Structure 1
Amino acid sequence: MIETEQRTPDLQAILDEVYAALEPRRGEGKVADYIPQLARINPQHFGMAIVTVDGAVYTAGDAELPFSIQSISKVFTLTLALGKHGETLWNRVGREPSGSAFNSIVQLEHEGGKPRNPFINAGAITVSDLICAGHSPREVIGEILRFLRYLADDDDISIDPAVARSEAATGFRNAALANFMRAFDKLSSPVDNVLGVYFHHCAIAMSCVQLAKAGLFLANGGKQALTGRTVVSRERARRINALMLTCGHYDGSGDFAYHVGLPGKSGVGGGIMAVAPGRAALAVWSPGLNQNGNSLLGSVALEMIAQRTGWSVFGP
């Protein structure tokens, strides 16, 4: 058998090339205008970051500018909830792609109030309820923030209070989902407490660099790359990655897997965090969304990066 030498890609050159190719397309897509604060974001922003398992950082564009990570936070709240409840968590939420909009209530009714997966809104509200158990919302929000600061090794990560207020003021559908699940006796904590935690963790602001650093444990077998400290077991990291691959982009997850081939999680703030197992964590940000609520330019950028690096989990 002939062995081929694996070439180490020039990651900075790849990012620069992708940025130059896509820079004329900045502003494409539609910002999430149903959350008033997000509607004010300049759609011209475009940033990318790659952090490798040996700690090297590569950036392009607005990679240092914080933005609202929104549903990307669900990866980290799931990690926390699994740490508290282990595999019993799956009694409350499923592991299957939804095939429906991220805020759909129809599927929830058909399935007796049990959400399809932890990354759609109903599933993430359930995860928030699991973290809330026996604690005040303020304590839980503080725990989530401390966890992200620990993962990214950055104490500057914070919640954008204006976005949190905007979410709470307009989150009627999320309130409906939470109350609907409460009617099925699927939430244990008071609905207002659970929603408070949910709205605030979605309002966390991070840059592409911070986000890639925070997600790096998922690329490194569950361990922080630089300290070697275990965040989760290797098996749990693999399973979280599997869920991101199959469910991380709502009803666009199959399309993302087809084009990009990396576990990833999107947010309606225009960010996407992706994982190249054993190699790196990546984060991109462009506020304009496609029809599925995923960053339009960010998805294209990750496809181009995956092609140039050969990092797709399905092979180069």
Structure 2
Amino acid sequence: MPDTLARFLRDLDAEIRDRQDWGQVADYIPELARIDPAQFGIAVALPGNRIVTAGQAEKRFSIQSVSKVFSLACVLGRIGEQIWTRVGREPSGRRFDSILSLEEDGGRPRNPFINAGALVTTDELVTGRAPKEALAEILAFLRIAAEDEEIHIDRAVARSETETGYRNVALANYLKSFGNLRNAPEITLGTYFHQCAIEMSCVQLARAGRVIAGLSCAPQMLTPLKARRINALMMMCGHYDGSGDFAFRVGLPAKSGVGGGILLVAPGRASVAIWSPGLNGYGNSQMGSYAAERLARETGWSVFG
């Protein structure tokens, strides 16, 4: 299979570059606005520590909201099911940075993958310790999962988000007004902005995703139940208000980020990382979403049989 998959990925890379349908970069974050959207990379981690790649799979990018998968994994490891008293498990049906549902739901975000929900999980991680310790826990999780110590925070991206992240500032203050933020907003926000600015390559991200996919070659960092919970949330909520359409087209759990990354999971079979920085109207990678659909169709991978 690896040889057949490698040929398919090479053909897919060529097809995507021929299409020239890249979408628009996240221009509301100045550091991301400077990135050329005409880029694509993909890495597929298979059982037995095999990695198949195409395109710019070794190029590092800001994983942004893909980090929410791993911060949630850290929180589940620290306090388990208690986190669900502060954040829900339902699709939002609105933009990832919407404040409307917080008003409707009394300050309890609908899931941990929209920005308000991720602020709550980050707030839980930073409670009782310094922000650098919370960030060190997330980085340590990623480095162990990927078996790669060269995973770091892009300080320029973190600074860019800190200087311009006014909607997240509003969300944090709104959460605080409802009593669902335990730390000072600036403490939680600073930690969150740095978490989102973690940079990884597709190869590193695919290797880290093995612990979510439950591959036997992965470090044993999550119980099967926790991995299943995370997969369920990725399927229902991982692509914001485009999650239903993505599930319909691809049929696999996935989490996107506005840096253009997608972590795609075929449980027990593969962990896939895709990067193309141009976004569609939902804020998800345009060519990354197309590549995920093509890959699922080619391999037959689906949680629906």
Scaled by the length of structure 2, the TM-score of the pair is 0.97
Secondary structure of the corresponding residue to residue 106 of structure 2: coil
Secondary structure of the corresponding residue to residue 313 of structure 1: coil
CA distance in 1, matches of 2:120, 2:225: 23
Contiguous gaps of at least 5 residues in structure 2? none
Q: 1:277-297: CA deviations, max 9, x gaps? A: 110100111111000000000
Q: Could you say which residue in structure 2 is the equivalent of 1:155?
A: 149
Q: Which structure 2 residues correspond to residues 1-316 of structure 1 after superposition, within 5 A?
A: 10-26=4-20, 28-220=22-214, 225-226=216-217, 229-315=219-305
Secondary structure of the corresponding residue to residue 59 of structure 1: strand
Q: Which letter does structure 2 place at the counterpart of 1:77? A: S
Question: Root-mean-square deviation (CA), in Å?
Answer: 1.3
CA distance in 2, matches of 1:209, 1:39: 24
Deviation at 1:53, TM superposition (A): 2.2
- 1:27–1:43 Cα contact (<8 Å) kept: no
CA distance in 1, matches of 2:222, 2:147: 17
Deviation at 1:230, TM superposition (A): 2.1
- 2:40–2:55 Cα contact (<8 Å) kept: yes
Aligned length, in residue pairs: 305
Q: Which deviates more, 29-38 or 53-62?
A: 53-62
Change in CA separation of 1:204 and 1:27 when aligned onto 2, cut-off 3 Å: farther
After the TM superposition, which parts of structure 1 deviate over 6 Å for at least 4 consecutive aligned residues?
none
The percentage of aligned residue pairs carrying the same residue is 56
Secondary structure of the corresponding residue to residue 26 of structure 2: coil
Contiguous gaps of at least 5 residues in structure 1? 1-6
Deviation at 1:191, TM superposition (A): 1.1
Q: 1:109-164: CA deviations, max 9, x gaps? A: 11100000000000000000111110111111112111111111111111000000
Q: 1:233-279: CA deviations, max 9, x gaps? A: 11111110010000000000000000011100000000101000110
Q: 1:70-113: CA deviations, max 9, x gaps? A: 00000000000011110011000000000000000011011100
Deviation at 1:27, TM superposition (A): 5.6
- 1:26–1:45 Cα contact (<8 Å) kept: no
Deviation at 1:25, TM superposition (A): 2.6
Deviation at 1:10, TM superposition (A): 2.1
Scaled by the length of structure 1, the TM-score of the pair is 0.94
CA distance in 2, matches of 1:253, 1:54: 30
CA distance in 2, matches of 1:113, 1:219: 32
CA distance in 1, matches of 2:35, 2:303: 33
